[in-house]
Structure formats: structure tokens, C-alpha cells
Chain A
Amino acid sequence: GQQLNQSPQSMFIQEGEDVSMNCTSSSIFNTWLWYKQEPGEGPVLLIALYKAGELTSNGRLTAQFGITRKDSFLNISASIPSDVGIYFCAGRRIETGANNLFFGTGTRLTVIP
């Protein structure tokens, strides 16, 4: 079952607004990843984080690896209609090795033009 708590479950925002979503776990993770999935497609990697405290940007997207290694957040600035989709956090736990990515339940983002 899912081991990552992702919030919020859904967001409705106006174009141009900033967005913030986060992911928490009771376990320590050594990798945090953020993906976007659109209908009928597979997840597409947005940002990868490998070190506690790491802050990484990809265009209008910024993500951080929490210093406790149990959480991560993703921010999207100045949202545009093509940001619509489902955003998933994913992570690797030291105990379960590198093969197994655990995914959150997703944040469904709707951008109103």
C-alpha cells in the first residue's frame, strides 16, 4: 500500500497563481522525486532530489528535500493552463533498496484560465 501522504488531494487555482504541494512519510527516504502525469500517459519526471536539504529548480518548478528526510515539497510559480495534471511525489527508502519507488496518492491540479 501507499506509504507517502500527499496533500492536498486536489487544487483549483487561477492562472498566474503559485501552487504548493507536499509529501510526508513516517519513514526516512534517501531519494525524493516529483512526477507529473496527464490523462492516458505515464508519469514524467520533473525534479529529482538526492540529499537532505537540497533545493532544486526546473523552470517555474522548485522542490526541496526536507532536512528530516521524511518530507518534500513542490512549488509551481505563475501557473499556466498546461500545468494541469496529477502531480506525484515518489521516494526510495534505504531499507527497501533502490529498485522500489514508493509513490504518493497524487495532487490533481486544475488551472482556471
Chain B
Amino acid sequence: GAGVSQSPRYKVAKRGQDVALRCDPISGHVSLFWYQQALGQGPEFLTYFQNEAQLDKSGLPSDRFFAERPEGSVSTLKIQRTQQEDSAVYLCASSLGRAQWRNSEAFFGQGTRLTVV
């Protein structure tokens, strides 16, 4: 497709369950970002990849959160032992250039809404 694609669109998980959220960036985009958006809030940065390298994971809230992008394309955000406070929309974004390049801002996907019950 032409845009950033995320799946699933909706996920309901029981507390303690592990979940995996997928992001297909725009083809050829070097940079990939994950954000967490709580209800009624703006997105908050989680992590950044440049190709397959995870260069910044300073926003990951705990060691239960893990992200990978093994071949520099598709990325997966995994949350282990989900808690109720993990309920949020998880947004993926990609950009053509490196994060520090001006005028190379990221395009966002539609997000995955995670509800932990």
C-alpha cells in the first residue's frame, strides 16, 4: 500500500497476556518510530529505528516493552505481561530520511488500539 500500515487495528488482551503489534512502513523509508497515545492525550515517543538499528529506546516505559525491525522494513512492538495501564493507541510512523533531516517528517499509520481487560 501507499501508506504506513498497522495491524491489528484493534486488540483486546487479558491482563498478563503478551501482545505483538505489527507495522509495515512505507517502502524504502529508512526511519521508523513507535508512539503511544493514551486516551485524550497527544502521542508519546517510545522508540526509533534507522534501518534495522534501534538507535533510541528511551521512551519505552518498562522492560516489558520490546521492539524490533530485523530486516530494516517491518517492525514489531511486543508487550509482555500486559497491564491495564498499557491500554492506549500505538502509532507507528516512518520517514524517508534519517530522523535529523529537515523536511523529512514522518507519516503516521492509523494505529493499533490496545485494550487490556
Report yes or no: A42 in contact with B109, Cβ–Cβ below 8 A.
yes
In the complex, per-residue mask of A71-113: 1 if CB is within 8 Å of any chain B CB, else 0: 0000000000000000010100000011111111110000000
- A40: CB under 8 A from chain B? yes
Within 8 A of A (CB), among B57-96: 58-59, 91, 93
* A106, B48: Cα distance in complex, Å: 23
Residues of A within 8 A of B105 (CB): 33, 45, 48
Main secondary structure of the interface of B (DSSP, over half): loop
Report yes or no: B103 in contact with A103, Cβ–Cβ below 8 A.
no
Closest chain A CB from B21 CB (angstroms): 14
Closest chain B CB from A105 CB (angstroms): 6
Interface size on A, residues (CB 8 A): 26
The contact of B58 among A45, A100, A104, A106, by CB within 8 Å, is: A100
* A63, B40: Cα distance in complex, Å: 23
Closest chain A CB from B10 CB (angstroms): 10
The contact of B41 among A2, A42, A100, by CB within 8 Å, is: A2
Residues of A within 8 A of B35 (CB): 101
Report yes or no: A42 in contact with B99, Cβ–Cβ below 8 A.
no
Query: Chain A residue with minimal CB distance to B3?
Result: A42
Report yes or no: B93 in contact with A42, Cβ–Cβ below 8 A.
yes
In the complex, per-residue mask of A1-27: 1 if CB is within 8 Å of any chain B CB, else 0: 110101000000000000000000000
Binding site for A on B (CB under 8 A): 4, 33, 35, 40-45, 48, 55-56, 58-59, 91, 93, 98-103, 105, 107-111
Going nearest first, the 5 A-B pairs with the smallest beta carbon separation are A103-B42, A42-B108, A98-B100, A99-B48, A98-B99
What are 11 inter-chain pairs, A to B, with CB distance below 8 A? A40-B110, A43-B91, A43-B108, A45-B105, A45-B107, A48-B103, A48-B105, A99-B33, A99-B45, A99-B99, A100-B45
